[in-house]
Amino acid sequence: MTALLEVEDLRVSYGKIEAVKGISFSVEAGQVVTLIGTNGAGKTTTLRTLSGLLKPTSGKILFDGKPLNGVAAHKIVALGLAHSPEGRHIFPRLTIAENLQLGAFLRKDKDGIEKDIQRAYDLFPILGERRKQAAGTLSGGEQQMLAMGRALMSQPKLLMLDEPSMGLSPIMMQKIMATISELKSQGTTILLVEQNAQAALSLADQGHVMEVGNVVLSGTGQDLLHDESVRKAYLGED
Ligand SMILES: Nc1ncnc2c1ncn2[C@@H]1O[C@H](COP(=O)(O)OP(=O)(O)OP(=O)(O)O)[C@@H](O)[C@H]1O
Ligand SMILES: [Mg+2]
């Protein structure tokens, strides 16, 4: 069986600087796979390349059996790959409901869209309570919920989350992680980029550790959680 996403020897450069230096990994349908690693390791660059926002210099990306190289970003969304970006990028002046509707910009099934907006409100009740409010009035954690809800509105086969816990209080972070677990139990396939290695590895089926553009270690979430070098470098133990 081929994986839902297969990345093979992917390289991405900004001008002369190579940020991703030939990485390979795959994501099976139904899995949560995490990329962890320090600042500047190339995690965001990898997700932006998968979304079609950056062009790889070489390498293969196969999604749902189709090559993504050279495919435009909006077509990649239509194929079923959604991206909740680092820093969230919600539209602060639009309402929460309008932000969610924008996530469904490629869909024409009005009833289905309404149902999925309701689903986002079930997943994140605060979004439902504030549906008519400008999204800019939400707290950081609530904006993260909105960014995730918006990404889900395209009914993705694969949901990519870039640092969903960034800047959040421990309680809000737990909430976001619990939601990722819930999405996983509903069968959503997730590629999760996180600085919080402990939280990410705890719920991931597979993990890959990135350092300066390379994947230096791969394993199950549990294996990496118990790996001595990971514990030292990423879990703050000596
Ligand atoms: N637009 C850009 N132009 C030039 N270099 C860039 C650009 N964006 C990122 N880089 C560089 O590419 C490398 C990888 O950056 P990237 O944002 O992918 O890392 P990251 O793993 O997501 O880090 P973080 O954990 O801090 O978000 C870094 O050295 C960064 O400085
Ligand atoms: Mg990043």
Cβ atoms of 47 and 193 within 8 Å: the answer is yes
pTM of the model: 0.95
Reply yes or no on whether the pLDDT at 237 is more than 90: no
Lowest mean pLDDT among 67-71, 214-218, 221-225, 230-234: 230-234
Q: Is 95 in the pocket of ligand 1 (CB under 6 A)?
A: no
pLDDT tens digit sequence for 63-100? 999 999 989 999 999 999 999 999 889 999 999 999 99
Among protein residues, the one whose CA lies closest to atom 31 of ligand 1: 40
3-state helix/strand/coil string of the chain: CCCCEEEEEEEEEECCEEEEEEEEEEECCCCEEEEEECCCCCHHHHHHHHCCCCCCCEEEEEECCEECCCCCHHHHHHHCEEEECCCCCCCCCCEHHHHHHHHCCCCCCHHHHHHHHHHHHHHCHHHHHCCCCEHHHCCHHHHHHHHHHHHHCCCCCEEEEECCCCCCCHHHHHHHHHHHHHHHHCCCEEEEEECCHHHHHHHCCEEEEEECCEEEEEEEHHHHHHCHHHHHHHCCCC
Q: Is 49 in the pocket of ligand 1 (CB under 6 A)?
A: no
Q: Is 104 in the pocket of ligand 1 (CB under 6 A)?
A: no
pLDDT at 234: 83
The mean pLDDT value for 162-166 works out to 93
pLDDT at 238: 64
Q: What angle do CA 95, 144, 81 make, to 5 degrees?
A: 95
Atom from ligand 1 closest to the CA of residue 195: 25
Atom from ligand 1 closest to the CA of residue 37: 21
pLDDT at 79: 95
pLDDT tens digit sequence for 109-156? 999 999 999 999 999 999 999 999 999 999 999 999 999 999 999 999
Reply yes or no on whether the pLDDT at 1 is more than 70: no
- pLDDT above 90 covers what percent of the chain? 86
In order of their start, the domains of the chain are 5-88+156-234 (3.40.50.300)
The mean pLDDT value for 210-224 works out to 96
Ion ligand 2, residues whose Cβ is below 5 A away: 43-44, 86
From the CA of 38, the nearest ligand is 1
pLDDT tens digit sequence for 166-214? 888 899 899 899 999 999 999 999 999 998 999 999 999 999 999 999 9
Among protein residues, the one whose CA lies closest to atom 29 of ligand 1: 40
